[in-house]
Amino acid sequence: MAEKEASTEKDLMECIQVPGRTGMRELPGGVKSLLPKDIQGDSMKSKLPMILIGAVVLVLVVFTVYLLTSDSSTQGTPGDEDITASPFDPTVERLGEDGEFVAVDEDPIAKLERYKKWAQYPPYSRPLYEWQEDLTNPFEFKLPPTGVISKPAEGCEMTKEGVPNCEKPAEFASEQCEMWAEQSISVGTGDFHVYLRCQDEQSNAVKVEDIEPRVYRKLHRKTYGTLPPVGFGDDGENGDEKANDGIYTFLVRPTGQDWGDMFLEANMTVNGNKHNQRAGWFSTPHTVAKFGTNINNSLDNGSLSVRVPITVNKAGYYQIDANLQEKEGKQRFVATSSWEGQLEKGNHTVELEFFGKVLKDRGIDGPYVVRDIRGRRNNSPVTPDMVERSMRTGEEISGTHTEPLWEYVDPAPNHETQAYRASEFSGQEWTSEEKNERIEFLEKMANE
């Protein structure tokens, strides 16, 4: 009889699982407590239907309470987050990171529903989640550690795809090394630091010897040498925070010519094995614009408006971005905001709008921290505003790309907002002529 009871309990648990974010999960506290201990013998068969009905009702009640009391900012599926977090229309083909066009589902009804879900919010303000590390840490770029080779590969030839094919693959030592820049960008010609650390299998720091560094930049597949590091070592000098901690610091001062993709590369010896390591960043040695510190915020038309002063030294097409994060508690990320447009030389105030419905739907109360306020000037000979004007007027545009594409602005300081409540923001969806036209087009496609 014990086996019968166990089997029945197992069947019941399989029937009343609750769907979660990443699959199926059992209710907190377990389900076995739903079965009375005194159910035995033939009475089990007669009572089982009522038990199942009661169990299902109880599960529904518990699940409803769970939904009502759970953190609304974490509800939804990962697929929904992918759609709502992206600033790009998910129904339009676009180039992926590999240079290939991203395929779009051709089902017209699915396209329409996907667009409606995406178009709740404007392209310039989207929800922000922890998994979006390229946005939550926009200035950090750190590659995984590289293994130290103890015996080089032999008999190698390059395939048609440009991949080496070796008769004997390389053999690796137990040590690994990593090199990283303090930020993914540098602005001006002041001190900039690059770090190196090697470790063994137990993550203990390993001494590095015979370090030979060089600094260079790349533009249009050409390499240009520049001044070597001012100093380097693990001696507590030249910006090295702590002597003999296993982290070697290189002090670099970019010159006025060092504009574009910069690299510090070093040959070294690690536990008797020759090794090479490289780190990169983007350098803008001149100041195209400078953010002010008198940032302020207010609740305007149901959205959070953040006004950022900026002094422009070089007129052009600028892109300004910022993140919104919960100041206290779990310090969750909330939303992004972007602004793009032409700025002439002089003083300006850029308004960043964190869209009301994004904040309301995330359900995270303030105060908030407006952080990672960053800007860059588009140095392309053909900028987005030129393309838009050409489409409107028919004017021909052309240009030759001879300089780096971007010029970066030093990030602005963080700004703290008032203690707004998420419920204060508007729940109205984004509206625009562009959105209406797109929905009308997709509806027509779906009805054909």
**Do 55 and 163 have their domain in common?**
no
Of the residues 269, 284, 299, the one at which a domain ends: 284
**Amino acid 101: pLDDT:** 58
- Indicate the range of 101-115, 124-138, 267-281, 283-297 predicted with least confidence: 101-115
Domain extent at residue 200: 146-284
- The residues, any chain, with a CB within 8 Å of residue 155's CB and separated by 6 or more, are 166, 167, 168
The pLDDT score that the predictor gives to residue 382 is 79
Grade residue 120 by pLDDT with cuts at 50, 70 and 90.
Answer: very high
Q: What percent of the chain has pLDDT over 90?
A: 69
Least confident of 120-124, 224-228, 337-341, 381-385: 381-385
Tokens of 395: 């004017």
Task: Please state whether beta strands 273-284 and 185-187 pair in parallel, antiparallel, or not at all (unpaired).
Answer: parallel
Q: Quick: pLDDT tens for 226-260.
A: 999 999 999 999 999 999 999 999 999 999 999 99
Q: Phi/psi at 166 (nearest 5 deg)?
A: -115, 140
Given this model, what pLDDT does residue 393 score?
Answer: 72
- Do 173 and 219 sit in the same domain of this protein? yes
Q: What is the largest CA-CA distance in the chain?
A: 90
Q: Write the pLDDT tens digit of every residue in 275-315.
A: 999 999 999 999 999 999 999 999 999 999 999 999 999 99
| Domains identified in the chain, total number | 4
Is residue 339's pLDDT more than 70?
Answer: yes
What 3-state class would DSSP assign to 314?
A: coil
**Hey, what amino acid is at 157?**
E
Looking at the structure, tell me whether residues 92 and 62 fall in a common domain: no
Dihedral sign of CA atoms 421, 426, 427, 430 in order: negative
Residue 443 forms part of a structural domain:
no
Per-residue pLDDT of 387-436, as tens digits, reads 777 767 767 666 677 899 999 999 999 999 999 999 999 999 999 999 99
Residues 28 and 102 in one domain: no
The first and second tokens of residue 241, run together, are 């925070």
- Mean pLDDT over each residue of the chain, to the nearest integer: 84
Same domain for 300 and 402, yes or no, is: yes
More confident of the two residues 318 and 400 = 318
Is the pLDDT at 84 greater than 90? The verdict is yes
391 and 306 in a common domain: yes
Inside any domain, residue 136: no
8 A C-beta contact, residue 408 and residue 345: no
Q: Which of 284, 305, 326 is the last residue of a domain?
A: 284
Where residue 293 sits, what CATH number does that domain have?
Answer: 2.60.40.10
Residue 80 has a pLDDT of 85
Q: Does the pLDDT of residue 178 top 90, yes or no?
A: yes
Q: Are residues 397 and 361 in the same domain?
A: yes
Q: What is the pTM of this model?
A: 0.76
For residue 260, tell me if it sits in a domain: yes
- Which tokens in the block code for residue 8? 């029945």
Contact 320, 292 (CB under 8 A): no
Query: Quick one: 324 and 356 in the same domain?
Result: yes
54: Cβ contacts below 8 Å, ≥ 6 apart: 34
Average pLDDT over residues 185-209: 97
Among residues 255, 284, 313, the one where a domain terminates is: 284
| Any domain includes 106 | yes
Is there a single domain that holds both residue 217 and residue 98? no
Whether residue 408 lies inside any domain: the answer is: yes
pLDDT on residue 387: 74
pLDDT higher than threshold 70 for residue 51: no
C-alpha span between 133 and 182 (Å, rounded): 17
Contacts of range 83-87, beta carbons closer than 8 Å, 24 or more positions apart: 83/114, 83/117, 83/118, 84/117, 84/118, 84/120, 84/121, 84/126, 84/127, 85/126, 85/127, 85/128, 85/129, 85/132, 86/118, 86/126, 87/123, 87/124, 87/126, 87/336, 87/338
Do 151 and 278 lie in one domain? The reply is yes
pLDDT in tens, 396-407: 666 677 899 999
The strand ranges marked E within 253-364 are 260-270, 273-284, 289-291, 296-300, 303-312, 316-326, 333-343, 346-354
Quickly tell me which residue has 């030249």 as its tokens.
Answer: 238
Section 116-139 average pLDDT: 96
Residue 99 banded pLDDT, cuts 50, 70, 90: low
What pLDDT is attached to residue 97?
A: 58
Whether residue 444 is contained in a domain is answered as: no
> Would you call 165 helix, strand, or coil by DSSP?
strand
Per-residue CA distances from 174 to 199, 203, 206, 216, 262 (Å): 9, 10, 11, 30, 30
The yes-or-no verdict on residue 41 having pLDDT over 70 is: no
Judge if 243 and 199 occupy the same domain. yes
Residues 98 and 215 in one domain: no
Domain for residue 138, yes or no? Answer: no
pLDDT band at 68 (very low <50, low <70, confident <90, very high): very low
* Residue 102: per-residue pLDDT: 61
Q: Is residue 203 assigned to a domain? A: yes
> Which pLDDT value is given to residue 95?
63
